[in-house]
Every structure is written in structure tokens, then in C-alpha cells.
Amino acid sequence: MSPRTERRSGLMKWLCRFLKGPKPGEPSRRRPQVAAGEGEGALWHQRPARPKIDPPRNENEELVDRAIAEPLAEAVKPPREKTHRGEDSNDDEDLTRAVQDSLNMNPYTPYNPYPPSQAQPIGHRVCGGCKHEIGRGHYLSCMGIYWHPQCFRCRSCGHLIRETEFTLLGTDSYHKLCYKELHHPKCDVCLQFIPTNGSGLIEYRAHPFWGQKYCPSHERDRTPRCCSCEKMEVQPRNTKYMSLGDGRGLCMECLGSAVMDTSECQPLYHSIRDYYEGMDMRLDQQIPVLLVERQALNEAMEGESKGPHHMPETRGLCLSEERTVSSILRRPRIGGNRLLGMRTRPQKLTRRCEVTAILVLYGLPRLLTGSILAHELMHGWLRLKGYRNLNAEVEEGICQVMSYLWLESEILPSSSRHAQPSSSSSSSSYPATSSEKGGISHTGKKLGEFFMHQIANDTSTAYGDGFRTAYAAVNKYGLRQTLSHIRLTGGFPV
């Protein structure tokens, strides 16, 4: 055997012994394993052990395989002639260098799918609860915030959070139920949490003036609603709404000032006539005013062959034809949550002028009844003064202005009123109002503001757009000049 072959054979035997590992009894050359969780920077939660898999092959293994395969291939080849002196020594040197390079590298470096975490230096972790440094030991972390285990408490109830699910608002932690109790909106009607819709969003309705929030289902489940202020009855029903017997319900606040019969309505009617006279709009004819039930008002409205347009829910009517109307003669008494003992009387209305009578729905609060009277009385004034063939937007708009101005005079002091009703008369000539006499309560004032809000934000063409156009004209030119322009042109000045 040639010296070259001997050297290669010896090198292969040594390499095989190295790859097979140490014999039994020989010391191992592997590095000691560090126990999980030991040493600085160990995490509180350990990653689960991964199943053992064969390590992928890398470049070092390929070098070792090639180093073994090349001498074997050379051994089986036929001997060739030497062309240069020293060729064997060069091949041996290349083989030795390749084996040495492979030994300097660890060919069995395991693949780690988890990149090494950047452990934050001790002293940089500040507890979100006690605001002190955490230091060594166990801690909790979420979204870059750290806590001592004993400091991870609910911001609302103060108890430790032991559940796996919680809510984090900024740096404050909450139990899920505590957070829901604090921030999830509740229905003002059923007093329950407002449910989410099919898209997972919280959907609710809110009254545009009172701000009462309620579940959308209450618009379909026949929940009682006050016919005056539009508030829904709160459940459980500790105090039920008063039933007026015609499908309407009245809350206790509105019931306190409700006008129930024709005799109660007369002082209010005369005060509104005085208000008209204070604006130089005197009515010489005595127009009867009757309080009627809902059915009687609807029947009279159907029989009216001509006249102004009416809202879907009619509360007042200015009659121009002869009719027999059943009016409320005596105020009913309250029994439980309903009215008892109502007495009505049929009354024949004879036409002596352009206006036969004014009908108003009974059971409404004083301010709402007065605003209806001011509106209908303006219809009567226009007819008696010869305003003919006005379109609905003009006639209903100016009547709504009179209703709005009367409400404004009742709940606001004279210095706070938005418009002067007449350019030819000062506010000192107006009759004393309830607000100036000190006779209106805070509840009544809020109710009056709501009725003004309804007029100003009406969405109909005749009542809503007509009011806003008329009110702008009265603010700019005054009431008397606006009325004169309407008489001449049939429209509002611009």
C-alpha cells in the first residue's frame, strides 16, 4: 500500500470515529444544558416542548460527505501517471484542510423557529399598578404594560383579576363585567344593556330633545309613549302612564297641568286673545272654543270640505262649517291609571262668520293646549281679515310662527326673546305672561322648550319649511310688515 493510500485510510478511520461519538466510558464533549427559567432574563411562562425532529442538513454536513466520498472514489479509480511532482501532497493538503474546516464548525446546530427575545433590562419594567420597579421575579405583561401579580386588579371593583379574559382601557385593567357595567350603554326604558345587532355593533334609538336612549325593539313592542312629551314609559312600570281612553297615554308630569274640559280651557283662550290684541291683532268676533275627544276631532276633520292642511296627528281644528260636535262638559276623575266619569254634551255650531269654532284635543298640558289655540286662532284671524287662497306653506307657516312666539313669551323673559312680534308696538304693551308672573315651574319650562323644539325642527313641507321661512321673514321685517306682504303677494318677503 502506498504512503498516500495509508494516510487517506487513517484519516477516514479517524473521521468515522469522530462522527460516531465517544465510546462508552469516555467523557462527553457536549455543552451542558441550561434549565429553562434559570438565569437572568428567564420568562415566567415557558414555551411548550417541541417534538424532536431530524435537523436539516447544512453546508457543513455536505463538506464532510464530500470529504469522505472523494477519497473513496479515488481508491476505486485505476492508477494514473504522475505528471507533476508533488501532486499527491497537494491533494492530501486539500483533504486535510476541508476536514479541519468542517471540524471547526458545529454541523449539528439545531433549527430554532423562535427568534431570541430581547429581554428588557431590570429596572425598565415599571408596574402599571403600584408604579414601582418590578425587578426579579414573576410578573404579568400585556401590550407593553407590566404588573406585579398582586397588582393586577380591576380599576372598578378593586379585586384581583384572575380570569383569562379581561379588558384594558389605556393602562387601566377591568373585569369584563365591570367594564360592561361602566361603559356599555343601558336602555332608559327596560334598564337592561342595549344588545348588539347582527353586525356586532351596539344599536339604539335616542330622543332628539330628551336624549332618552332605548332599544330599537321598543318601537315595535307597544311600549307606551306619552302623547305630549313623547317620552317612553320606563319599565318595570312603577308608575304607569295615564290612559286617556282613546289610545293615548299621558305621563305623570304632563298630567299635572293637563286641560281636561271646555270650562278649564276658557281662561287660557282669553289670555291668548289678549296676547293677540297686544300685537295689534284684535279679533272682534267671539269664536267658540271646545275641548273634544279624539274621535270627535277626527270626524270634524273629515267633514271639513276646505281649509288648511292638517298634520297626521291632528290636535286642533278651525271649523268653517256648521256641525254638531260632542264636547267635554266635566273633567273626568282619575281611577288607577285611567280616567273615569267623563261627561260629554253634543253642541250644535252655527256659522255666523267665516269661522264656526275652534276644536282642541282634551287631556294635553297647558302649554301644548295654548300653542294649539294660538295656531288655530291665527287661522281664524286670517279668514276674518280676508286673507284668501293662501297656499299651505304660507298659511301653516305663519300660524306656526304665532304658536312659537306665544310659547316663547310664556317660558322666556322678554329680554331673551328671539324676535319682536311687531315693529309698531313695544314688548311693554304685551300682557303679563306666566314666566313674568313667576307661575311656571322648571318642569313646565322644559316642556315648553320641547314644544318649541318640535315646531322648529318639523320635517314636513307645510309646517316645517313654512315655519322656518315665515320666522326668518318676521325676524327681518317684523310681523305687521310680513302680514301686509302676504296680503299683497300671497307669499313671504325675502
From 101-105, 233-237, 350-354, 373-377, the region with the lowest mean pLDDT: 101-105
Residue with cell 328671539: 418
Mean pLDDT over 388-398 rounds to 94
CA triplet 481, 484, 485: central angle to 5 degrees?
A: 90
| CA distances (Å), origin 299, targets 294, 314, 318 | 9, 11, 13
- pLDDT exceeds 80 at position 180: yes
| Distance of alpha carbon 277 from alpha carbon 151, whole angstroms | 75
- pLDDT exceeds 60 at position 51: no
From 154-158, 190-194, 210-214, 347-351, the region with the lowest mean pLDDT: 347-351
Mean pLDDT over 23-45 rounds to 45
User: Strand, coil or helix: what is 37?
Assistant: coil
CA dihedral 70, 73, 79, 83 (to 10 degrees): -30
DSSP string, 165-195: --EEETTEEE-HHHHHHHHS-B-TTT-SBPP
| Distance of alpha carbon 325 from alpha carbon 435, whole angstroms | 34
Residues forming beta bridges with residue 278, ordered by sequence position: none
305 versus 372: which is more confidently predicted?
372
C-alpha cell at 439: 307661575
C-alpha cell at 345: 254634551
Q: What integer pLDDT is reported at residue 426 of this predicted model?
A: 36
475 versus 117: which is more confidently predicted?
475
157 versus 102: which is more confidently predicted?
157
| CA distances (Å), origin 170, targets 164, 167, 174, 178 | 18, 10, 11, 15
| Distance of alpha carbon 387 from alpha carbon 379, whole angstroms | 10
Mean pLDDT over 243-271 rounds to 92
Q: What integer pLDDT is reported at residue 32 of this predicted model?
A: 44
CA triplet 257, 263, 265: central angle to 5 degrees?
A: 45
What residues contact residue 99 under an 8 Å CB cut-off, 6+ apart?
Answer: 11, 15, 64, 67
Label residue 376 by pLDDT band (50, 70, 90): very high
- pLDDT exceeds 90 at position 420: no
Q: What integer pLDDT is reported at residue 387 of this predicted model?
A: 92
From 93-102, 229-238, 329-338, the region with the lowest mean pLDDT: 93-102
- pLDDT exceeds 80 at position 216: yes
Q: What integer pLDDT is reported at residue 41 of this predicted model?
A: 37
Q: What integer pLDDT is reported at residue 337 of this predicted model?
A: 79
- pLDDT exceeds 90 at position 36: no
- pLDDT exceeds 90 at position 306: no
Label residue 424 by pLDDT band (50, 70, 90): very low
- pLDDT exceeds 80 at position 309: no
Reported as a single tens digit per residue, the pLDDT across 128-152 is 888 888 888 788 888 888 888 888 8
From 69-83, 108-122, 225-239, the region with the lowest mean pLDDT: 108-122
Q: What integer pLDDT is reported at residue 117 of this predicted model?
A: 44
328 versus 37: which is more confidently predicted?
328
Q: Is the dihedral of CA 400, 403, 409, 412 positive or negative?
A: negative
Residue with cell 291665527: 378
What mean pLDDT is reported for the chain?
A: 78
- pLDDT exceeds 50 at position 44: no
98 versus 368: which is more confidently predicted?
368
Reported as a single tens digit per residue, the pLDDT across 89-120 is 565 666 566 556 655 555 444 545 444 545 55
What residues contact residue 61 under an 8 Å CB cut-off, 6+ apart?
Answer: 107
From 166-180, 282-296, 349-363, 424-438, the region with the lowest mean pLDDT: 424-438
| Distance of alpha carbon 450 from alpha carbon 454, whole angstroms | 6
Instruction: Give the whole-number percent of the chain exceeding pLDDT 90.
Output: 35
Mean pLDDT over 193-218 rounds to 90
User: Strand, coil or helix: what is 315?
Assistant: coil
| Distance of alpha carbon 358 from alpha carbon 339, whole angstroms | 24
Q: What integer pLDDT is reported at residue 302 of this predicted model?
A: 81
Q: If you compute the radius of gyration of the chain from its CA atoms, what whole number of angstroms results? A: 47
| Distance of alpha carbon 186 from alpha carbon 197, whole angstroms | 15
Q: What integer pLDDT is reported at residue 167 of this predicted model?
A: 84
From 49-63, 102-116, 187-201, 264-278, the region with the lowest mean pLDDT: 102-116
User: Strand, coil or helix: what is 317?
Assistant: strand
- pLDDT exceeds 90 at position 47: no
Q: Is the dihedral of CA 243, 244, 250, 254 positive or negative?
A: negative
Mean pLDDT over 390-417 rounds to 89
Instruction: Give the whole-number percent of the chain exceeding pLDDT 70.
Output: 67
3-state secondary structure 70-85: HHHHHHHCCCCCCCCC
Which domains, ranges and CATH numbers included, belong to the chain?
126-183 (2.10.110.10), 256-412+442-489 (no CATH)
| Distance of alpha carbon 133 from alpha carbon 155, whole angstroms | 20
Whole-model pTM? 0.65
Q: What integer pLDDT is reported at residue 335 of this predicted model?
A: 79
| Distance of alpha carbon 85 from alpha carbon 87, whole angstroms | 6
